[in-house]
Structures are given as C-alpha cells and as structure tokens.
Structure 1
C-alpha cells in the first residue's frame, strides 16, 4: 500500500540524423542521374523527423495489430496499450488513446 510507485517512461530512439548525414555525404559524390533520388530521400528523412509523435505512432500500431478501433472501443484500447507496456499509468494510456481521435483533441 505504501510502497514505491513504479513509473514507466517512454524512451524514443531516433537515428534519422545518421541516415540524413549518410544521404548528404552520398549527394556530395553522386552522379548526376542519382542526385534527384538522393534529394528525394533526404526530403523523406527530413519529413519523417517532424512527423507524428512517436508515442502516438506506437499506440496506433499496437491497436492496429490488436484490431481495436480506439474510437469505438476506447476502454479496450486503453487496456491493450497498458498490456503492451506494463506499468504505464492509466492516465497516460487514456491520453495516448485519446490522442488518436481528432475530436478528443479538440475537446481538451
């Protein structure tokens, strides 16, 4: 009852910087016909770094894998998220699931 609370922290590893740098180096010595493709790859990597919050992306992937629609079955969605990440506080799981619903974000 009075024991220590265990907190779960989300750690996001992002190695896109290494990939971007590798493409930039390749661009320096690329043949003319390879330049457009490498430039496109660089734009894709740049876009991925500002894309969706990794927590939200992870939540979406977990629920898609489980076949749970977070809009129709929020309670089951929260349960599934917590099952995949034991120790995740209920409030955090609810926030992650609700973040998938644009309507829920507007109501906050």
Structure 2
C-alpha cells in the first residue's frame, strides 16, 4: 500500500434530472385547465426546491436510507454506521464510506 495513491472517485453518483422535470411541469402548467393548476403549481414548487439541493445532501439521504434499512438509528458517522454502510454497499472503499457518512451526519445536523 502506498501513501501516494490517487484518491478514489466518489462511487455514488447523484443523478439530477430535476431541470427536465421542472421544465416539463412548467410546460404542463401553461396548458393546464383551471382544475389542474393548483396541483401542478405545488408539484412545480417541490421540483424547484429539490433541484436546489446540493449533491452532498442527496448522498447523505442515500446513506441514511441504507442505514435505516439495516436498522441503525444512531449517528450516521459512527464507526458502526460505517461498517453497516460498507456491508450494504461492498464496492465502497473505507474513505468513500467515511466521506458519505460525514455528509449524512452534516445534513442531519
């Protein structure tokens, strides 16, 4: 093992199709009858809110979902949580699991 290894890229990708969803909702809202407008307006507001969330927050939510599925209710950045996360996602390196766990803990604070 070398101390000068290249850092591993993050393994969890955040897929963002929110701009397309927002555009589709705006388009639907323009042509919507009055009865459908309130629901579409609410959906548009939610999609715009979601589109503004940082990637770290979305990865933090991903971590919490994995931990909840394993029954872990403690801090997301605990040693036990990192072990659980690595068991749930065997492809994660220790560094990746720690990084994601810290992001999850920060988003929960």
Cα RMSD of the aligned pairs, angstroms, is 2.9
TM-score (normalised: structure 2): 0.73
Q: CA deviation at 1:54?
A: 1.5
SS state at 2:14 partner: coil
Higher alpha-carbon deviation: 10-19 or 85-94: 85-94
Higher alpha-carbon deviation: 90-99 or 43-52: 90-99
1:10-31 residue CA offsets vs partner (Å, 9 max, x unmatched): 2111212222111111111111
SS state at 2:53 partner: coil
Report the equivalent of 1:27.
29
1:42-67 residue CA offsets vs partner (Å, 9 max, x unmatched): 00111112236221010010000001
TM-score (normalised: structure 1): 0.74
Q: CA deviation at 1:40?
A: 0.8
Segments of structure 1 that go 5 or more residues without pairing to the other structure are none
Segments of structure 2 that go 5 or more residues without pairing to the other structure are none
Distance 1:72 1:91, change over 3 A: closer
